[in-house]
Amino acid sequence: MYSISVPDEKHKYHVGELAKMFLPEDAFCIYVGQPDAELVIGAGGDYNDSKRRAYAFFRKITGKDLDWGILTGVRPGKLYNELKARGEDPETVLKETYYVSDEKIALLRRVSESQQTVKRSPDPKAIGLYVGIPFCPTRCQYCSFTSNPYQRDASDAYLTALLREMEAVRKLMDRQGQTAESIYVGGGTPTSLEVDQLRLFLNRVRDLFVTDSTVEFTVEGGRPETITAEKLTVIQEAGAGRISINPQSMKQRTLDLIGRKHSPQQIREAFALAQQAGIGIVNADLITGLPEETPEDFRDSLSGVITLGPENVTVHTLAVKKASRMIEEDPRIALRQADNVRQMLQDADRMLTEAGFEPYYMYRQKHMAGNFENVGWCRPGTASLYNIRIMEEDQTIVAMGAGAISKVYFPAENRLERVPNVSNYQIYIERIDEMIARKEAGIQ
């Protein structure tokens, strides 16, 4: 057990987040004001000073370097762009101050360059909208999101409450002269809904929020077994031009291990249905670092997905959070999979670049295998503006539904204020009036 002393609780948090990237949580302890600890970090420096000292200590005892250095934040791309906007050299700062590797700096450069090509509304009243459906066919082993097994009665009651919140948001937007630049329907798995429910819901989204100013409208299909020709017709008739079909892996053994109740063949069938329906842009998600998978397994999955013809591919790194079942079964999976994930991400970069994709957004999460990242790749001209906006945090995003968190952007101060909804969908239904009141008080 390694002991580290820090000057206060905030330093304890920041150093602790870095420590988890080197060691299991039961291998170190961080104290406040412990003079005989193996590493003593005194007062007088900022968090980055403390993290640099801690980094040197952990590197010495483990022999490891981290590709992202001391960065523990979710949005390194935002930091890169902010440094650039201030006239600083972001690549020098990231290398010398944060110890970021040349490989990850090059990735940030490519992401930043891709984002400059994406058209954004010049209207300061243009906002993003998120609408959440917290139901899935089953719960994946790694999942920590707001997700519940689909039931007809429960989903009917939820939609009734959600439509009320949507109508209230429309009135709020009208009072403030706001329009929806982008709309993202996520979850959960929205296509878990039955056809009549999906039609009622998506048509209401269209009628309330879609205008001539709306650049994109996305619906997550996610689980291939929920996608049918009829549901795709409903999605298209509602005006959505983007969907997600998320294999996560093309290996049946892996799908079984992580609780996905579909087959690789169903993935292929879902893509064929989307192409027949004429859906404009299809995204596919894959996850690096899944249980028992080797780099060869991942290469096979990615090759198979590229062959299916998606316009976007999002490559996630396994993030095993405390709310997931996977961490209960294998608490050290994230650390153990680090070397595999590094190779998988390098393979993804090479294979997707060769296939004509470019990286256009990225983010990181806590408890990621190897302290790596998630990257969205797109064919030229198909980037998702919503994904860029939410990662850059340069726009108000109004979020509706259970577990949804609205983020109100104040450009003069470059800051956000959060307006959360409760996560439990049953409590959301019971307290829908309170959820609406929170928005009326907090969204300006």
CA nearest to 76, candidates 374, 433, 437, 277: 374
Prediction pTM value:
0.92
Low-confidence residues in the chain, pLDDT < 50? none
Give pLDDT, residue 258.
86
Two structure tokens written together for 203: 């048509």
The pLDDT of residue 84: 94
pLDDT for position 147: 72
Q: Is 41 helix (H, G, I), strand (E, B) or coil?
A: coil
Three-class SS of residue 234?
Answer: helix
pLDDT in tens, 70-123: 998 889 999 999 999 999 999 999 999 999 999 999 999 999 999 999 989 889
The encoded tokens of residue 69 equal 């250095």
**What are the start-end ranges of the E strands in 263-388?**
281-288, 312-317, 358-363, 374-378
Q: Which residue is associated with the tokens 């997931």?
A: 324
- CA nearest 388: which of 37, 111, 24, 143? 111
* Fold annotation for 126-400: pyruvate-formate lyase- activating enzyme (3.80.30)
Neighbour count for residue 324 (Cβ, 10 Å) = 18
Q: Crossing angle of helices 385-392/76-85, nearest 10°? A: 80
Contact 426, 418 (CB under 8 A): no
Residues 76 and 101: beta-carbon distance below 8 Å: no
Identify how many contiguous H helices and E strands the chain contains and give both numbers: 17, 16
- Are 390 and 115 in contact by the 8 Å Cβ rule? The answer is no
C-alpha 46/C-alpha 148 separation (Å) is 42
Q: Encode 294-315: b = buried (16+ Cβ within 10 Å), e = exposed.
A: ebebbbebbebbbebebbbbbb
In our burial notation (b when 16+ CB lie closer than 10 A, e otherwise), range 32-66 reads: eeeeebebbbeeeeebeebbbbbbebbeeeeeeeb
